[in-house]
A and B are shown apart, each in its own frame.
Chain A
Amino acid sequence: MDDAQLIERARSGDAVAMRDLYRRYSAHVYAVVRRIAGEDALAEDWSQEAWIRVFRALPGFRGQAKFSTWLHRVAVNSALQGRRKVMRHADREVQLQPVLAAAASPRGQVFLRARLERAIERLPDRMRQVLVLHDVEGYTHEEVGDMLGVTAGTSKSQLFKARARMREVLRPVRDDSSGAEACHI
């Protein structure tokens, strides 16, 4: 059954159709919310909130946008709103310890995904949001700026800082190149 058929049935309160829509997209919703949230407990609540909003608004969904696009945007907004409410994490400075290493080995390949996820978690909130929305989810700086209420220039600036921090976190412990010294040229 395609999205349009499922949506039509879900609109009329068909629980099976709702569940099938959920199954089809839950991992995509959870992924973006989890990466913005930076932790599982919040992500579970916020992704549930996103789904509630979607199912509540479904009767008014006219299909001008693809369902998956609309759903994704609702998920991002739910996560960002959730994050704004959780002030205990706001502006936290994360201690940057080189936590990563290893992907040249087979084990490293296996764990690459987990290492990236952990490095994302260690970014300060705003940097993490911009990095997830731009580099993971593929939004433009203009779209990221709209979602976060900042300019595209600010989004760019945060992204570059976030990428640099990610590399710092991912860099192997034994790599002591500081990047601050002068080139020998």
Chain B
Amino acid sequence: MPHLSPEEIARLVDETPSPAEAGHLGACADCTDALADLRRQTAALAALPPIDPPARAWSRLEARLREEGILAAPAPGRARFGVAGRGGWMAAAAVVSAFLVGGASGFALRGPAAQSGEDTLPRVSTSPPESLASPSSVEEAEGEVRVAERRYLNALEQYNRMLGPRAGTGADPWAARFAALESIVASARAALHEAPYDPVINGYYINASAQRDAMIRQISTEDADPWY
């Protein structure tokens, strides 16, 4: 008897097998394993957690609510939360750019010194580099942030290549690092709710998010063990 088709097996996650299907499953380890895989997959899907939106999503939504008149215009001098003035946002973006460019430069240039392992955090520049252009619009400032982020990731990939694989540490260092980055991202996101335009917190958030995403991209293409 031929195997059950993948779609027939997928149906049996929810439905009772016919006598013929049950008979086949009783004798075919491949199809039984496939059904068990699909049950695990379906259970894992049902357990997927919520996903936090980007940190600035509320600010953007709030601006839109005001544009549409759903929310009243802000009172003068309001600073508790909401849409910062454009100048404030641009200043923050510029400092975040500086943070990332400085971090990337420090990370990329340290090279072999980092292999000693005593300090693997990027050195953060707190003052803008001379070459950093002063953005004249929100769009320019956002563009600078994106460019700086790309530069940072490129430098970091180069840095990781130079470091090479690490081994023999017992516990899985990737898992520990990923969990730590998740924790930083969550903390920074929570902090941004209170201080959405703080450049240092923005820097931490962008930095940790980029690192976490890079790890996900990397692990998705390099690993070959079964996931279940």
Chain A residues in the interface with B (C-beta under 8 A): 13, 15, 18-19, 22-23, 26-31, 34-35, 40, 43-44, 47-48, 51-52, 55-56, 99-118, 120, 131, 135-136, 138, 156-157, 159-164, 166-168, 170-175, 177, 179-183, 185
Is B113 close to A, CB under 8 A? no
In the assembled complex, the Cα of A118 lies from the Cα of B226 at a distance in Å of: 15
Residues of A within 8 A of B223 (CB): 100-102, 107-108, 111
Interface residue stretch chosen among B38-46, B96-104, B147-155? B38-46
Given A13-B72, A18-B71, also A40-B60 (CB < 8 A): no
Given A51-B61, A160-B10, also A179-B220 (CB < 8 A): no
Interface size class of B (residues with CB under 8 A): 35 or more
Contact with A along B51-74 (1 / 0, CB 8 A): 111100110111011001011100
In the assembled complex, the Cα of A52 lies from the Cα of B71 at a distance in Å of: 11
Contact with A along B179-218 (1 / 0, CB 8 A): 1000000000000010000000000000000000000100
Is B91 close to A, CB under 8 A? no
Closest to B68 in A: A52
Interface residues of B in 1-19 (CB under 8 A from A): 1-3, 5-11, 13
Chain B residues in the interface with A (C-beta under 8 A): 1-3, 5-11, 13, 24, 27-28, 30-31, 34, 37-38, 41-42, 44-46, 48-54, 57-58, 60-62, 64-65, 68, 70-72, 81-82, 171-172, 174-175, 178-179, 193, 216, 219-221, 223-228
In the assembled complex, the Cα of A15 lies from the Cα of B65 at a distance in Å of: 10
Closest to B12 in A: A160
In the assembled complex, the Cα of A35 lies from the Cα of B51 at a distance in Å of: 9
Count chain A CB atoms within 10 A of each CB in B30, B60, B193, B219 and give the residue with the most.
B219
Residues of A within 8 A of B52 (CB): 26-27, 30
Residues of B within 8 A of A111 (CB): 178, 216, 219-220, 223
B6's partner among A105, A118, A168 (CB-CB below 8 A) is A168
In the assembled complex, the Cα of A105 lies from the Cα of B225 at a distance in Å of: 8
- Tell whether, in the assembled complex, residue A166 and residue B41 are in contact, meaning their CB atoms are under 8 Å apart: yes
A118's partner among B9, B28, B68, B220 (CB-CB below 8 A) is B220
Residues of A within 8 A of B70 (CB): 13, 52, 55-56
- Tell whether, in the assembled complex, residue B65 and residue A104 are in contact, meaning their CB atoms are under 8 Å apart: no
- Tell whether, in the assembled complex, residue B227 and residue A108 are in contact, meaning their CB atoms are under 8 Å apart: yes
- Tell whether, in the assembled complex, residue A109 and residue B175 are in contact, meaning their CB atoms are under 8 Å apart: yes
- Tell whether, in the assembled complex, residue B227 and residue A19 are in contact, meaning their CB atoms are under 8 Å apart: no
Known pairs A44-B54, A104-B228 / 17 extra A-B pairs, C-beta < 8 Å: A26-B58, A29-B53, A31-B49, A31-B50, A48-B64, A51-B61, A101-B226, A102-B226, A103-B227, A107-B219, A108-B223, A116-B41, A116-B44, A117-B48, A136-B45, A170-B228, A177-B30
